[in-house]
Amino acid sequence: MSEHAIRVEGVTKRFADTTAVNAVDLAIEEGEFFSMLGPSGCGKTTTLRMIAGFEEPSEGRIVLRGQDVTALGPAKRNLNMVFQDYGLFPHMTVADNLAFGLKVKKVPAAERNSRVKEAIDAMQLTGLDGRRPAQLSGGQRQRVALARALVNRPAALLLDEPLGALDFKLRKEMQLELKRIQQRTGTTFVYVTHDQEEALTMSDRIAVMSNGQVEQLSDPRTLYECPATAFVAEFIGVSNLLELACSSRQAGLMAMELGGGQRLLAPDPGAGQQSVRVTIRPERIKLSPPEHERWSRLSGMIAEVVYLGSMTQLIVELSIGERLVVHLLNDDPAGRHARAGDAIVLGWPAEATYVLGSRLPGSGAPQEQAERDQGAAVLGSAA
């Protein structure tokens, strides 16, 4: 088995009485686009800074391509970091910015010029090599910062919310551009962000962090469709969380009978629980569902209707006292005619109900084992 690009092994970081990162394990593959995602203060940036060498772990170690680099400073690790403010030298041209690190490393002039030209071409900066940062757009400055980092041919590129200063449209464009650059160069990217959509768009795998711990480490689809904890379900996209108290079990399903033809169904996790927490994504919920034995069916009243351009969001007060968020595409007549105060019936197939932390659909393996099979190390899941 090939060596991982980066391993974070049992790493903890304390600042006085505060534990910023708590016993985190990560195994990042060569050539992977790996993201650490979470809210402010969750420990993601501190973890990135420990990988870079700007912070020293209180416990644990950092391993780079098989070498323990925990005690080495940033200059002695073959890593480069890109920050939100780019950190370009304003008095230097694009070419000089790119060449600076190579000069410091005493790379011969011929090789230096060749690598700078190669980076300029790869980043689509041709013709801009004589300009200074102030003469560039935000997206061009971002590409210069990436080129300056990649020209050094690092073992991995560390990116700390590098798109945060860009406007919405440019940020969306740069998300796709970053992924293309990563795939083209084959460089390992370790990316920190609080933006769920950004992480889902670009990443091969994502570590969702909360309170200094990894809640779940999976590919984007698994994170969205099979959240391990309530935190992940609520942080990744929009989700509906409900408690299901089992009334009966049959045909691989748990059922909670609510009377009046209402029921909540979920795949039976097979552990004999009488009560489980489930999540349903809003786009899986239908209005006026078919009367099918494998469909959940709940009644309620529309409390709010919010037009979101490509879809309409309904906030529905259920007769059982809970609220559900429903997303309807705007080519669905039900969404166009929905009004606040309307009584409605909602439904979804039982398979659209996911029991938090249960087995992955079709895998036959628990969530934690499936992640280990992907080469992921998960520690301290905080439910």
In the prediction, which pLDDT does 374 show? 37
3-class DSSP state for residue 9?
strand
Specify the pTM.
0.85
For residue 126, count other CB atoms closer than 10 A to its CB.
10
Decide if pLDDT at 368 tops 60: no
Helix, coil or strand: residue 371: helix
Query: Is 12 or 125 the better-scoring residue by pLDDT?
Result: 12
Residue 222 and residue 227: Cα distance in Å, rounded?
A: 7
What is 6-226's CATH superfamily?
P-loop containing nucleotide triphosphate hydrolases (3.40.50.300)
**pLDDT tens digits, one per residue of 339-355:** 999 999 999 999 999 99
Q: Are 42 and 215 in contact (CB under 8 A)?
A: no
Delimiting residues of CATH 2.40.50.140 domain(s) in the chain:
231-355
Mean pLDDT, to the nearest integer, of 217-245? 94
- Give the separation between CA 138 and CA 292, rounded to whole angstroms: 53
Mean pLDDT of 265-293: 91
pLDDT at 362: 41
Average pLDDT over residues 105-133: 90
pLDDT digits (tens, 9 = 90+) for 205-223: 999 999 999 999 999 999 9
CA dist 262 and 322 (Å) reads 14
Query: Which residue type is seen at 269?
Result: P
Residue ranges, comma separated, of all CATH 3.40.50.300 domains in the chain are: 6-226
Q: Could you tell me the sign of the dihedral formed by the alpha carbons of 38, 41, 43, 45, in that order?
A: positive
Distance (Å, whole) CA 221 – CA 103 = 43
Instruction: Say which residues have a Cβ less than 8 Å from residue 326's Cβ, sequence separation at least 6.
Output: 282, 285, 287, 313, 314, 315, 316, 346
More confident of the two residues 124 and 190: 190
Note the pLDDT tens digit of each residue in 70-100: 999 998 999 998 887 777 899 999 999 999 9
Per-residue model confidence (pLDDT) at position 359: 61
How does pLDDT run across 296-342, given as a tens digit for each residue? 999 999 999 999 988 999 999 999 899 999 999 988 777 778 899 99
User: Going by C-beta distance under 8 Å and a sequence separation of 6 or more, which residues neighbour residue 319?
Assistant: 258, 260, 262, 298, 299, 300
Q: Above 50 in pLDDT, residue 380? A: no
- Of 52, 39, 64, nearest to 13 (Cα)? 52
The yes-or-no verdict on residue 361 having pLDDT over 50 is no
Q: What is the mean pLDDT of residues 152-168?
A: 86
Which tokens in the block code for residue 332? 């669905």
β strands within 211-274, DSSP E: 213-218, 240-245, 248-250, 253-259, 262-267
pLDDT (0 to 100) of residue 376: 35
| Per-residue model confidence (pLDDT) at position 377 | 33
Q: Are 170 and 139 in contact (CB under 8 A)?
A: yes
- Report the distance separating Cα 140 and Cα 221, nearest Å: 31
Best CA proximity match to 8, nearest among 217, 154, 193, 204: 217
Fold of 231-355: OB fold (Dihydrolipoamide Acetyltransferase, E2P) (2.40.50)
